[in-house]
Amino acid sequence: MKNFIKILVCSAIFFSSLAFSSECTRNPRIAYNTGKLIDVYLSKNQNTEISFPESEITGLRPEKIEGLVYHYDLKNKRLANKINFSISQEDYQSIVPVHGISGETYLLNVSAKNNCADSYVSIKKQTSETRKSPLTLKTNKKIKKTLMEYLLSENPEDTPPGYSLKKYRKRNETAEDLNGRKVFEMGSIAMYLEYQLIGPKLTGTTLLIENTGRTAFKLDIQSIDYSSKEIIEAFGRVTEITMEPATFVLQQSPEYVEEIYAGGNMGYLHIVSRRD
């Protein structure tokens, strides 16, 4: 297990470092409203447009007003569901609730990303289809509820037929217990075993990932070669893998009150693997 995690995360860190050092592309992207914070990156002298699944925006209430620049036009029906953002402070960070005419509130977790702001973010409503894993490798079986869906259900007691549950987190966990289930640590990134669903052929594994540094970190799991001999020998064939948050980005460790509530420095890695 530890050898596999080491190979996996070292590969992800390698590809991640390439991604962060490369030229900023500012590609448009889609974010789904799940009731959690939606990460948005702004920069001075760059415009970011965000569209919402509403016919009209009724207002927004930034926790920190100073340093945030925004504009929306309710008179133009084509633009009534869009807000243009920028910042005047290079270290700006705040949670920005945006209210739609439907009564829905969208919580934007706004952070400064100098010279690499989002260009366009389209926020969509989450449906049963969009709740599926953002990264799924090919599998041979179709079942009503996949092993990955059990891992994503946030209820490990919901065990699929024929599988056994192995939990690693203790109810009244001490620092020594936490350290005992640590499977990887490099710099400010640490991973801890949460639980496994073990079946005759497939194994589902959930790990907690924590970023204790003051720099955001991206685990680029989409760039890893899961067919490599090292990964197969260490863990079997990875059939599915995904991460929460779906952006694969862990924010910096909390220092200010608003960051503590955001809780963006932790995430979960879910892996389904098969032994031939």
Query: Domain span at residue 81?
Result: 35-125
Q: How many CB atoms lie within 10 A of CB 28?
A: 10
Residue 183's identity, in one-letter code, is V
Cβ contact 191:12 at 8 Å: no
Q: What Rg, from alpha-carbon coordinates, does the chain have?
A: 20
- The reported pLDDT for the residue numbered 137 is 42
- Residue 73, C-beta contacts closer than 8 angstroms, at least 6 positions apart: 79, 80
| pLDDT of amino acid 102 | 93
In a domain, 26, yes or no: no
Q: In terms of DSSP H, where are the helices of the chain? A: 2-21, 147-152, 175-180, 229-235, 257-262
Enter the pTM of the model.
0.51
Do 176 and 270 belong together in one domain?
Answer: yes
**pLDDT for position 263:** 54
- How remote is the C-alpha of 102 from its chain's centroid? 26
Q: What is the pLDDT of residue 101?
A: 93
Same domain, 97 and 173: no
Strand pairing category for 202-211 and 182-186: unpaired
Q: Kindly report the CA angle at 61 between 60 and 65, in degrees rounded to 5? A: 115
CA angle 226/231/237 to nearest 5° reads: 60
- The CA distance from 144 to 142, in Å, is 7
Q: What is the per-residue pLDDT for 221? A: 67
Decide if 24 is inside a domain.
Answer: no
pLDDT in 10s for each residue of the chain, 276 residues: 555 555 455 544 444 443 343 346 677 888 888 888 898 999 998 999 999 999 999 999 999 999 999 998 877 777 889 999 999 999 999 999 999 999 999 999 999 988 888 889 999 887 544 444 444 444 444 446 788 888 887 676 778 889 999 888 887 878 888 888 887 777 788 888 888 899 998 988 888 888 888 777 777 666 666 677 766 776 678 888 888 877 777 777 766 545 444 457 888 888 888 876
Neighbouring-strand partners of residue 234:
none
The verdict on 117 and 154 lying in the same domain is no
d(CA 143, CA 74): 47
Q: Where among 64, 97, 125 does a domain terminate?
A: 125
Residue 240 lies in a domain: yes
What pLDDT does residue 134 have?
43
**Which segments within the chain are labelled E, that is strand?**
29-33, 38-42, 48-51, 57-60, 68-71, 82-87, 93-100, 105-112, 120-125, 164-167, 182-186, 189-198, 202-211, 217-218, 237-244, 249-250, 266-274
Distance, in Å, from the CA atom of 237 to the CA atom of 273, rounded to the nearest integer, reads 5
Check residue 171 and give its pLDDT. 78
Give the closest residue to 134 by CA, choosing from 252, 274, 270: 270
Q: Do 180 and 169 have their domain in common?
A: yes
Tally of structural domains, the chain: 2
Nearest to 49 by CA among 139, 118, 145, 127: 118
The last residue of one of the domains, among 108, 125, 142, is: 125
Does any domain span residue 147? yes
